[in-house]
Structure 1
Amino acid sequence: MLRELLNDEAGFIVSAELVLIATILVIGLIVGLSSIQHAVVAELNDVGDAIGQLNQSYWFTGFSAEKIDGNGLKAYTRGSAWQDQTDDCDNDQCDIACDVPVNEGPKRF
Structure 2
Amino acid sequence: MKNITNQLINDEAGFIVSAELVLISTIAVLAMIVGLSEVANSVNNELEDVGSAFGRINQSFHVAGTSGHKGWTSGSYFEDQLDFCDGEDDIVCDRRPRNEGHSY
Tell me which amino acid in the other structure corresponds to 2:77: A
1:1-109 to 2 correspondence within 5 Å? 14-66=17-69, 73=71, 79-92=75-88, 94-97=90-93
Cα shift at 1:92: 2.7
Return the TM-score normalized by structure 2.
0.58
- Partners in 2 of 1:20 and 1:96 — Cα distance? 35
- Partners in 2 of 1:19 and 1:98 — Cα distance? 32
Q: Where does the alignment leave 5 or more consecutive residues of structure 2 unmatched?
A: 1-12, 97-104
- Partners in 2 of 1:88 and 1:82 — Cα distance? 19
Cα shift at 1:22: 1.1
Return the TM-score normalized by structure 1.
0.56
Cα shift at 1:65: 4.7
Structure with the higher fraction of residues in helix conformation:
2
Q: Secondary structure at the match of 1:59?
A: strand
Q: Answer yes or no: is the 8 Å Cα contact 2:63–2:77 preserved in 1.
A: yes
% identical aligned pairs: 46
Deviations 1:33-76 (A, max 9, x none): 1112112222322232233222211110233554xxx6xx5xx6
- Partners in 1 of 2:49 and 2:80 — Cα distance? 20
RMSD over aligned Cα atoms: 2.9
- Partners in 2 of 1:93 and 1:16 — Cα distance? 46
Tell me which amino acid in the other structure corresponds to 2:83: D
Cα shift at 1:20: 1.9
Equivalent residue pairs, number: 83
